[in-house]
């Protein structure tokens, strides 16, 4: 059995009941095969075994008290996956579905994504099975304080720098930061996505969505095309989806549908983003309300139907495995030309193969959504330097990082004879630097 297959088999045996982690590892390791064949020293130094085993996994109890005095206990996670090229970096996800498998798949992806940004950040991820939906601000605050009371002893500005992900936005980062500062007595860049009044960076909030639009636009430019006049479907209506929509619209694309976990809105006239922002960012409401406020729009219960809407570009920006084989086939049948993954691992392995066989330009998450963490690294740089860049400065750097990512994954794919296969291109381009740094550090 070849080295990659053996590592995958062992990984599944040693980590049972972790389907998302198996899925991410399978995609990554299989696409590294041509590189691994050229580097027999990888096997000698058990490089892939070390790469897929987190440096440290922290699991902890998060007890908190609700507004009625009821006591609750959630699970807290921080997976410090790989620090070869910089301090652990990656978001925190608060969602009832969170488990170790999900945090580990996100952490593994994060290692390569962070490497692709070209910035000195290692890979980590964390979160909790806490459900923020329907909780009061005070409940959210008490939960965040309890979570940070444990996590603060494991992180630090040069050790591990968490940020947001699903269910963790500006409000949560504020409460987490307040508790870190109180316990550790240091005002430092230990979290990113901070508010502008206490060390945050302009354009971090917009960065993941804008970055997704920039890299998709670059893929179009390379093919003599642009967003102008294209019909776009975006799933989700959270941080990534909203700012992807904003940038796509400003580049001339027409976004016709978005969703939340209850159902999707189809607005043939083009989504009115001000209404979405009001509902999601101000009122923390549901997409159903969009259809009640904007005439001529349809609301459908359930999410999957969104992928049956004809479009040129699909930008999944909600969660893992939201596009399965059937949805991918529906998109292809309706003529989709570009798929850019704003969410992490939104396409199943079968769905990716449907897209690639059909010649769809498929931009994998670790490249397409890297703008968020890249701008987090820019926030860290500003914190360390006691600097504050303008929106335009940060946005300009973000754009050039996304264009570089596109070029690097494109040329890695060409180098290995699989032109246009950006799954392989992104994995190889990201892994190069990790392999080099891990090798330089010896067996650690
Ligand atoms: P938010 O919490 O702001 O928004 C999440 C959105 O996805 C909401 O619309 C939510 O709907 C929907 N969603 C979540 N879970 C499900 C589900 N199981 N089924 C259907 N819809 C769901 O998160 P973000 O926008 O920050 O994150 C979205 C994706 O982007 C995630 O995959 C995340 O890992 C990824 N990402 C985020 C980055 C960032 O900087 N924030 C950076 C890179 C990637 P509802 O409100 O109903 O739950
Ligand atoms: O998946 C991701 O890249 C994020 N959630 C952002 C991580 C970060 O540290 O900004």
The 10s digit of each residue's pLDDT in 73-105 is: 999 999 999 999 999 999 999 999 999 999 999
Q: Looking at residue 404, what is its pLDDT?
A: 98
Task: Name the pairing type of β-strands 123-128 and 71-82.
Answer: antiparallel
Low-confidence ranges of the chain (pLDDT < 50): none
Q: Looking at residue 2, what is its pLDDT?
A: 96
375 lines ligand 1 (CB under 6 A): no
Distance CA(411)–CA(216), nearest Å, equals 16
Whole-angstrom CA distances from 46 to 40, 43, 61, 438, 443 are: 10, 5, 33, 11, 9
The model carries a pTM of 0.98
Q: Looking at residue 196, what is its pLDDT?
A: 98
pLDDT tens track for 161-220: 999 999 999 999 999 999 999 999 999 999 999 999 999 999 999 999 999 999 999 999
**Residue 31, φ and ψ in degrees, nearest 5:** -75, -15
Atom of ligand 2 nearest to the CA of 90: 9
Q: Looking at residue 284, what is its pLDDT?
A: 95
Q: Looking at residue 115, what is its pLDDT?
A: 99
Distance CA(337)–CA(253), nearest Å, equals 14
Q: Looking at residue 228, what is its pLDDT?
A: 98
Distance CA(130)–CA(388), nearest Å, equals 34
Atom of ligand 2 nearest to the CA of 375: 10
CA of 139 to the centre of ligand 2 (A): 24
Q: Looking at residue 374, what is its pLDDT?
A: 99
Pocket around ligand 2 at a 6 A CB cut-off? 89-91, 110, 113, 163, 165, 192, 344, 372-373, 376
pLDDT tens track for 200-213: 999 999 999 999 99
């Amino acid at each position: 059995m070849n080295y990659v297959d053996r590592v995958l088999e062992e990984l599944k045996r040693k980590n049972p009941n972790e389907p998302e982690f198996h899925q991410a590892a399978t995609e990554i390791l299989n696409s590294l095969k041509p590189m691994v064949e050229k580097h027999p020293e990888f096997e000698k130094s058990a490089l892939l075994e070390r790469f897929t085993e987190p440096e440290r996994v922290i699991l902890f109890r998060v007890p908190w008290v609700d507004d009625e005095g009821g006591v609750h206990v959630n699970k807290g996670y921080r997976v410090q996956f790989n620090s070869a090229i910089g301090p652990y970096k990656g978001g925190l996800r608060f969602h009832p579905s969170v488990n170790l498998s999900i945090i580990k798949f996100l952490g593994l992806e994060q290692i390569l994504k962070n490497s692709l940004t070209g910035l000195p950040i290692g890979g980590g991820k964390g979160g909790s099975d806490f459900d923020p939906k329907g909780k009061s601000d005070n409940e959210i605050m008490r939960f965040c304080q309890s979570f940070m009371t444990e996590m603060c002893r494991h992180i630090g500005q040069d050790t591990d720098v968490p940020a947001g992900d699903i269910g963790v936005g500006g409000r949560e980062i504020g409460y987490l930061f307040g508790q870190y500062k109180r316990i550790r007595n240091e005002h430092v860049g230990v979290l990113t996505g901070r508010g502008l009044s206490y060390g945050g960076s302009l354009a971090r909030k917009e960065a993941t969505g804008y970055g997704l639009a920039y890299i998709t636009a670059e893929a179009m430019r390379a093919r003599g095309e642009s967003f102008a006049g294209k019909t776009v479907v975006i799933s989700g209506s959270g941080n990534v989806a909203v700012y992807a929509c904003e940038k796509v619209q400003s580049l001339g694309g027409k976004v016709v549908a978005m969703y939340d976990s209850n159902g999707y809105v189809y607005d043939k006239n083009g989504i009115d983003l001000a209404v979405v922002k009001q509902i999601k960012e101000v009122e923390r409401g549901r997409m159903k309300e969009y259809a009640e406020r904007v005439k001529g729009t349809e609301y459908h219960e359930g999410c999957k139907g969104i992928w049956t809407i004809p479009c040129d570009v699909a930008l999944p920006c909600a969660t893992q495995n939201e596009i399965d084989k059937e949805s991918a086939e529906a998109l292809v049948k309706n003529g989709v030309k570009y798929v850019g993954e704003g969410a992490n691992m939104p396409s199943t392995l079968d769905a990716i193969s449907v897209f690639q066989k059909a010649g769809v330009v498929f931009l994998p998450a670790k490249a397409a959504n890297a703008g968020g963490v890249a701008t987090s690294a820019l926030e860290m740089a500003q914190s360390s330097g006691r600097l504050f860049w303008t929106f335009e400065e940060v946005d300009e750097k973000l754009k050039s990082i996304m264009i570089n990512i596109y070029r690097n994954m494109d040329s890695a794919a060409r180098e290995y004879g699989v032109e246009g296969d950006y799954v392989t291109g992104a994995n190889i381009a990201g892994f190069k630097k990790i392999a080099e740094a891990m090798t330089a550090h010896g067996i650690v």
